[in-house]
Amino acid sequence: MGAKGLTIGVFDSGFGGLTVLRELLPLVGDAHCVYLGDTARLPYGSKSRETIVRYALSSARFLQQRGAELMVVACNTATALAIDELRDALPIPVVGVIQPGAAAAADACREQGTTPRVLVLATQATIESHAYARACAALGLEATEKACPLLVPLVEEGWIGEEGDAARASVTAQVLRIYLGEALRDAPESRALLLGCTHYPLLRTEIERTLAELGRPLRVIDSAQATARAVARVLTENGIARGGLAGVCEANRALDEVGEATCEFFATDSVRKFKRLGSRFLGRPVGEVQLVDLGG
């Protein structure tokens, strides 16, 4: 038995949240996932708290109207700045990406012994909120936070190793050397590196390569994976998925049979661009995408 018939809402400012959906799908049985990319108003990461709260609330309300019984805030910026407002406004469980990411980082650091310190890479707005530092502190973990505003445009433009040409990929490598070099100088005792933006899993190979070049091969933690596991736990705890997490995983077989039919995609801007870019993040083709106007 899985989360049969359950509708899970997942939203992000754009495509990045599809890395969370990608990890989520194998864990939630035959649930129906409704994804919204608020692409007309992206990026959230460079905007103010007030604006991000307003955008996150309208995105979440849209998904609730589409039947969501559990909400995944698959956007670090929206989680950092609007999770409390979302929990106040919605009568359903709300799972963000920050607490699960911080918990996974704490586990990884503890495995490696003392001085639990993690380096968190994220957008400007996420970093300025210090949401990761607070979530880590609550788990006895010290966080060094580093804003990396150019990584999202570099990922969206595909200036990445395998996709881009060598000259383009070397620009991304140079940007990573600047960001990681500065961050590791500020926090030489870091034990792990947490990807605090849903775009960054697409740079994981490049980040690991740069860490090795800098002589600091930190363990890289992907909050998308940690968030997917947290959602599965919420389903279990709420008795939505009978048989616990194992049961949820078992139900994955049913999901394979149902296939693409369990996902529905909405975007507030060009559906053509969403299909093209989104497939890169989801790791498989995005099917039908419906345009929605949130009044922005």
Q: Which residues bind a second copy (CB under 8 A)?
A: 39-41, 46-48, 51, 149-150, 153-154, 156-157, 159, 167-168, 170-171, 174-175, 177-178, 268-270, 272-273, 295-296
Determine which one of 75, 109, 136, 148 is catalytic: 75
Q: Which is nearer to a second copy, 107 or 157 (CB)?
A: 157
Q: Distances from the Cα of 285 to the Cαs of 160, 267, 289, in angstroms?
A: 19, 15, 11
8 Å CB contact between 73 and 146: no
Active site residue 136: no
User: How does DSSP classify residue 70?
Assistant: E
Q: Which is nearer to a second copy, 35 or 55 (CB)?
A: 55
8 Å CB contact between 199 and 155: yes
Active site residue 109: no
8 Å CB contact between 281 and 42: no
User: How does DSSP classify residue 289?
Assistant: E
Q: Which run of H or of E encompasses 147?
A: strand 142-147
The least CB distance from residue 144 to a second copy, in Å, is 20
Who contacts 52 (Cβ-Cβ below 8 Å, separation ≥6)?
44, 77, 78, 81, 82, 125
What is d(CA 285, CA 9) in angstroms, rounded to the nearest whole number? 19
What 3-state DSSP class applies to 140?
coil
What is d(CA 11, CA 21) in angstroms, rounded to the nearest whole number? 9
The least CB distance from residue 49 to a second copy, in Å, is 9
Q: Which is nearer to a second copy, 177 or 284 (CB)?
A: 177
- Give me the active site residues, please: 75, 197
